[in-house]
Amino acid sequence: MFEGTGRVIAKSKDIARAFVEGFVSGFVANIITILINTFASTARNMVRMLNYGIHTSETYKPKVFCQTGRVRKALLRNLLGFSF
């Protein structure tokens, strides 16, 4: 056949082993990347939800809580829109 064919056939086990090792390491690297990206995007979305929840609760805070101690009167004034 060709001149270098005998050497290639002799090293076929090494070539196959290197191919399998490269394939496995590439596959594992891709799985790890997918997992890291999944957790990172989940954490980013959790931070967004927490920020949204905090800002939403601050919006409704004056209507529910009264800082001065006159809770009942202030609550009725804020919810009903008129004072007694």
Q: Give the CA distances from residue 9 to residues 13, 16, 19, in Å, rounded to whole numbers and listed in that order.
A: 8, 11, 15
* pLDDT computed for residue 27 by the predictor: 95
Coil, helix or strand at residue 84: coil
Instruction: Work out the pLDDT band at 59, boundaries 50, 70, 90.
Output: low
* pLDDT computed for residue 17 by the predictor: 93
* pLDDT computed for residue 31 by the predictor: 94
φ, ψ of residue 51 to 5 degrees: the values are: -60, -45
Whether 26 has a pLDDT exceeding 70, the answer reads yes
